[in-house]
Amino acid sequence: MEKVAWINLLNDFYGQLLTRRQQDFMELYYGQNLSLGEIAGEFKVTRQAVHDTLKRAEQLLNEYESKLGLVEKFNNERNKLAAAALLLDEYSSACKDDRVLRARQILTEILDMVNK
């Protein structure tokens, strides 16, 4: 997974555990793609202060994940749901049971929600 996507996913799970300033910098840098200089200007701090804050926040997010593993569990469950959906697709092509089609629809709705 690319770094920006990984950090955003970690931030979705653990961002509330960061300080308000770390949250703001993470949102501006990773969410809105602002540069270090733009963030520094907005908060009237140095680029180095923004860089240090971002690096510390990234480190904390990675530490939370290594201890709690919520993102890994989430990804595993999402992959299992996707695999189940594929199996239902294969089965439903041979069998037109409405229950199988409804189960596939439910899985699709769940996968759509977790992939947002």
For 20-40, b where at least 16 C-beta lie within 10 A, e where not — what string?
A: eebeebbebbbeeebebeebb
Q: Give the pLDDT score at 14.
A: 98
Task: Write the DSSP symbol of residue 15.
Answer: G
Average pLDDT over the chain reads 91
pLDDT digits (tens, 9 = 90+) for 22-74: 999 999 999 999 999 999 999 999 999 999 999 999 999 999 999 999 999 99
Which tops the pLDDT comparison, 83 or 47?
Answer: 47
Cα of first residue to Cα of last residue in the chain, in angstroms, is 16
Integer CA distances (angstroms), 115 to 19, 42, 75, 81, 90, in order: 27, 32, 10, 11, 22
* Res. 116: pLDDT tops 70: no
Tokens read off for 78: 């999402």
